[in-house]
Amino acid sequence: MSKKRTKKVKKVKKVSKTKKEVKKTNIILQKDEIKIFLPEKQIPDAWYNILPDLPVPFEPYIHPGTKKPLTPDDLAPIFPMALIQQELSPQRWIDIPGEIIDIYRLWRPSPLYRARKLEKVLQTPAKIYYKYEGVSPAGSHKPNTAIAQAYYNKKEGVKKLSTETGAGQWGSALSLAGALIGLEVEVYMVKVSYKQKPFRKSMIETWGAKVYASPTDRTEVGRKILAENPDSPGSLGIAISEAVEVAVKDQNTKYSLGSVLNHVLLHQTIVGLEAKKQMELAGDYPDVVIACCGGGSNLGGISFPFIYDKLTGKKPDLRTVAVEPTACPTLTRGLFGYDFGDTGQMTPLIKMFTLGHKFVPSGIHAGGLRYHGDSPLISLLCKHKIIEAVAYDQNPVFESAILFAKNEGIIPAPESAHAIKAAIDEAIKAKEEGKKKVILFNLSGHGHFDMIAYDDYLSGKLKDVPLSDEALKKGFKSMPQI
């Protein structure tokens, strides 16, 4: 393992340093380049923390019992101190330890593609770029934070990590991290995804972790939910409660979350920092940055380094678009307020857009987007109109996924296909307006374990069921009064 790379003083200039670094690589691109690679030595050596650059102060997490702001000690039973400190760090740049970079080198830097064939078939004047995170061993962006979280836990003597997983991507990512770093991992997988994706389970087990279909009878929360509804399809909110309960009850186990929290989005900024260098090599800068949004980690990851330029006046007209399913429309139809991060009320209260922690979305195929809440950072930026949000039904999303696969080759994860649909819509709008727009989206993962979803779409079995105002109101009622 390499020595820890230390950089004592991190400065605002770090972003503009990209230019110097790009020059140093002496990379000369052909005019019609499709993939833009960076050498391994260009892996960023610090994550970007957006907290000090927010337009308004971050609202504290609240202890549900005392209703007072949470202290680091309140979080200590479930997270290691290093991650608790990152969660509310005032530092703009946070060093990435050399040991983490060494593991990142297995697949990072990930490629940036120009979707030239898709542009042609859409006959758009827009340039469409996408950052492809499906090249990681687990097949998505999730290992970027899984490796970091496992590393800090291991350093503080933790033996086991418990976690939830929706689509199975996060569970596989943490299992991979457990195998590479040497930690036991226990995964609570939302039951509907467990059934839809049996090979995600095999993948998790291949890396040596244990996986259970949630709700389970292993936890108090799970038993209570099964007593109320033995056929519960599960949800991320329920699986989180189970995993947190396991961590709270065992002092050698800590909990690991694959999205939502600030430290998770922080680790994911490696995606946007690389993309920035790659866009610079391509000689372009995005007018719009797009990503699907479940808990917000891949969106925060790709967009925050660009939003930095918006917040500091370098690119004031930059647009960022969060894309969610109409079945779980947290940002487009949710309320902004304090709510629990999980169904069983085990977590602190978080100020975010939410559908209410008791809301259980229908069993759509983009399992990773079935979360009632959202990252508090993404929520705040949405509230302040720095990020926009759109929602799509799953049938048009799969239609876009197939158009993309037929032209670009890659079969996207259903979650990522939401971003593709939005990018295509932006490209069509550019054509209608005759504008030479530059579009960048995050292709957060591949869909190789999602072929049942593709089967359902291709055989006309996918249903788009409208979400009624009554169902939403019922969910909102579960929000606590703060």
Ligand X SMILES: Cc1ncc(COP(=O)(O)O)c(C=O)c1O
Q: Does 341 bind ligand X (CB under 6 A)?
A: no
Instruction: Tell me if 328 contacts ligand X by CB under 6 A.
Output: no
- Identity of the residue, 190 or 225, whose beta carbon is nearer to ligand X in the bound complex: 190
Q: Say if CB 403 and CB 121 are below 8 A apart.
A: yes
Which of residues 163, 256, 416, 478 is near ligand X by CB under 6 A? 416
3-state secondary structure of 178: helix
By C-beta, is 244 or 261 nearer to ligand X? 261
Which DSSP category does 13 fall into? T
Does residue number 424 form part of the binding site for ligand X (CB under 6 A)?
Answer: no
Taking contact as CB under 6 A, which single stretch among the options 28-36, 107-115, 178-186, 409-417 is the one that binds ligand X?
A: 409-417
* Cβ at position 296, least distance to ligand X in Å: 5
For the four alpha carbons of 193, 198, 199 and 203, in that order, the dihedral sign comes to positive
Bond before 52 cis per omega within 30 degrees: no
Cα–Cα distance between 50 and 409 in angstroms, integer?
A: 34
| Cβ atoms of 98 and 4 closer than 8 Å | yes
Query: Taking CB under 6 A as the rule, does residue 302 contact ligand X?
Result: no
Nearer to ligand X by Cβ, of 390 and 430: the residue is: 390
The answer to whether residue 171 forms part of the interface with ligand X (CB under 6 A) is no
Which of 42, 110, 140, 149 is close enough to bind ligand X by CB under 6 A? 140
Cβ closer to ligand X: 216 or 375? 375
Q: Are strands 253-255 and 160-165 parallel, antiparallel or unpaired?
A: parallel
Among 204, 292, 302, 420, binds ligand X (CB under 6 A): 292
* Residue type for position 479: M
Q: Is the preceding omega at residue 97 within 30 degrees of 0, hence cis? A: no
Cβ–Cβ contacts within 10 Å for residue 41, how many? 12
Q: Does 368 bind ligand X (CB under 6 A)?
A: yes
Site membership for ligand X, residue 145 (CB under 6 A): no
> Residues 197, 478: contact at Cβ < 8 Å?
no
Rank residues 127 and 351 by Cβ distance to ligand X and give the closer one.
351
Q: Which one of 111, 143, 215, 294 is in contact with ligand X (CB under 6 A)?
A: 294
- Closest CB to ligand X among residues 281, 327: 327
Using CB under 6 A, which of the segments 107-115, 207-215, 216-224, 410-418 binds ligand X?
Answer: 410-418
How buried is 17 (Cβ within 10 angstroms: 0-12 exposed, 13-18 middle, 19+ buried)?
exposed
**With contact defined as beta carbons under 8 Å apart, do 292 and 414 qualify?**
no
The stretches of 413-468 forming alpha helices (DSSP H) are: 414-433, 451-458
Within 10 angstroms of residue 246's Cβ, the number of other Cβ atoms is 23
Site string for ligand X, 234-273 (x = CB under 6 A): -------------------------x--------------
Phi-psi region for residue 400, left (φ > 0), alpha (ψ -120 to 50) or beta?
alpha
Nearer to ligand X, 119 or 234 (CB): 234
| Distance from C-alpha of 482 to C-alpha of 354, rounded to nearest angstrom | 14
- Return the residue of 244, 444, 450, 475 that touches ligand X, per CB under 6 A: 444
CB of 97 to ligand X, least distance (A): 23
Residues that bind ligand X (CB under 6 A): 140, 166-167, 169-170, 259, 292-298, 368-369, 413, 415-416, 444-445
